[in-house]
A = this chain, B = another copy of it.
């Protein structure tokens, strides 16, 4: 327990951006290859649903867990630490993401997962998940697809970390999030943004101090506004320009023959 109080704006009363769902919410696994019956099978395999405080480790490095953890509402992140103490976020987890997908096949993971906001998470026992994967091709394909999308996102992060300026890194991160959170609109888009500047730094390979200075500049340029944990984008197009952002890589609507999957048991 870090003892840090939850951030009010991420409680369930702000449902417009990530509506809390009872169990497996509708957009939870955004995969188009899930037949309705498969989706129900998934839902029934879940053993528990739990709330966690912000800034609390859900999974610690080298820990063995027997559950896949699916984020239903709230944010979390994966991170790893270098031997000199430096920290790097390797994934941002928003509703619908699986915190430890690779625990489906591997005994240990080389990262930790920490909550960012008040969050509710659902547990899918590994054994059940393996059984589901064996029995339902759509579920198998969904998990595989999730791993591949994670890869695509990681590739773009690598491009940011390796070759983009602090400005472009921040801009790109924000653009990515608008897509992943399903935020639409061209002007004055606003949404809750729980990341601290230090966490942004650990995500983008910068120091919190430099993040601060860069954000101030971007504010001055009218690219973003960020106060009270709310991020607003006055002009999406110019932010994308600053980021060199093209949403294609997220493969949102590009699943191969999504419609060709057997959807026999549509409820």
Residues of chain A having any CB pair with chain B under 8 Å: 62, 78, 80, 82-84, 86-88, 90-91, 101-102, 104-108, 110-111, 126, 130, 133-134, 137, 140-141, 143-145, 147-148, 150-152, 154-159, 161-164, 168, 202, 204-205, 244, 246, 248-249, 251, 254-256
Contact = CB atoms under 8 A, between A and B. Distances in A.
A249 B163 contact: no
Contact of A143 (B78, B86, B144, B164): B144
Given A84-B163, A133-B141, A162-B202, 8 more contacts: A82-B159, A82-B244, A88-B162, A106-B254, A108-B248, A111-B155, A147-B151, A162-B205
B105 A145 contact: yes
A135 B164 CA distance: 43
A144 B140 contact: yes
B144 A104 contact: yes
Contacts of A88: 158-159, 162-163
A105 B255 contact: yes
Contact of A256 (B83, B130, B157): B130
B159 A158 contact: no
A244 B102 contact: no
Given A151-B154, A205-B162, A244 B84 contact: yes
10 contacts: A82-B164, A82-B168, A83-B244, A88-B162, A105-B145, A107-B254, A110-B155, A110-B156, A150-B151, A161-B161
Contacts of A143: 144
Contacts of A141: 105, 133
A156 B117 CA distance: 25
A138 to B, nearest CB: 10
B106 A255 contact: yes
A107 to B, nearest CB: 5
Contacts of A102: 148, 151-152, 251
B256 A106 contact: yes
A131 to B, nearest CB: 11
Contacts of A126: 256
A144 B143 CA distance: 8
A163 B83 CA distance: 10
A60 B151 CA distance: 18
A68 to B, nearest CB: 12
A133 to B, nearest CB: 7
